Chains A and B, each alone.
Chain A
Amino acid sequence: MTHEAMAQVAAQREQLAEKARLPWWFWVLFTVATVGLVGGPLFARALPGDVSTYVITWPSILVYAVADRLVRWTRGISLSTRMTAYPSARRPGIAFLLIGIVGIIGVSTLHRVEQLPWAVAVLVLATVLMVGAMVAMQRAMRRDIREGRVRSA
């Protein structure tokens, strides 16, 4: 009886972990939004006229929100956005935020002092690192689901 019950629990966790995998189109939207958010000043400069950075950053944030909502509806599950809910995901989550903050400040500063090639390099590096941190975070969340470590969501 015990073995059967525990096997049932393990099977549910495994299925949920598989269902928690993000679809390919989410990663496309996520990358586009990240490029827009971090590289806002660069893209605003490329547009004709005196365009505010917010013209790029707000739609980028909207793309994040739309991607999140779409994923929730198509997967049929929503996972907690609280970092404390998935203990293993805390470290990559913090890394994601820190890289994002440093990237935004870096691109903005380099753009202001007219160091455009360096600004583009920081944008590319920050985007790659942020996507990498997000991949690590998702992997850690699935591991926590499999091992039953998820705290109050």
Chain B
Amino acid sequence: MTPARDPLLEVGPRLAICALLQGAKWADFATVRDTVGAGDSVISKHTRTLEDAGYLEVRKGAVGRRARTWFRLTDAGREALTAHLAWLTELGAFGL
């Protein structure tokens, strides 16, 4: 994996969202919101951007009357995150 900076992951909680989803197959909206510690609108906005970039897959479902939205990191998102983390690790090695 070649280290590569991804400016898309440097805005708001996007890196945190992707890091959370890296370890799971699917995570629901409330879990992402509570774990990342951001509000509904912030999560909605940034997950939409990540979805548009092809980094996230979004699935909507319902349990009874309750709608539930699930997120999953796509292969493209996983690759971008791994490359970005490798880049950050390299920077860290230089003490930046």
User: Which residues of A are interface residues toward B (Cβ below 8 A)?
Assistant: 1-3, 5-6, 8-9, 11-13, 15-17, 19-20, 73, 75-80, 85, 144-145, 148, 150, 152-153
For B19, B31, B72, which residue has the most chain A Cβ atoms within 10 angstroms? B19
Is there contact, CB below 8 Å, between A9 and B23?
no
A77 touches B19 (CB 8 A): no
CB-CB under 8 A from A19, the residues of chain B are: 31, 35
Quick check: B92 and A77 within 8 Å, CB to CB?
A: no
Set A12, A78, A150: member contacting B36, Cβ < 8 A: A12
Whether B19 contacts A13 by the Cβ 8 Å rule is yes
The DSSP consensus for interface residues of chain B is helix
Could you say which of B20, B25, B31, B88 contacts A2, with CB atoms under 8 Å apart?
B88
B15: chain A residues within 8 A (beta carbon): 5, 8-9
A9-B19 contact given A15-B35, A19-B35, CB 8 Å threshold: yes
What per-residue 1/0 map shows which CB atoms of B72-96 lie under 8 Å from chain A? Answer: 1101001000000100110110001
A13-B19, A16-B35 known; A79+B88 contact, CB < 8 A: no
Which 7 residue pairs across A and B have the least CB separation, nearest first?
Answer: A76-B31, A145-B23, A153-B25, A12-B19, A9-B19, A12-B20, A76-B28
- Interface positions of B (Cβ within 8 A of A): 15-16, 19-20, 22-28, 30-31, 35-36, 63, 72-73, 75, 78, 85, 88-89, 91-92, 96
User: Complex formed: what's the CA distance from A1 to B36 in Å?
Assistant: 18
On whether A153 and B24 interact (CB within 8 A), knowing A9-B85, A12-B16, A19-B35, the answer reads: yes
| Neighbouring B residues of A73 by C-beta, 8 Å | 63
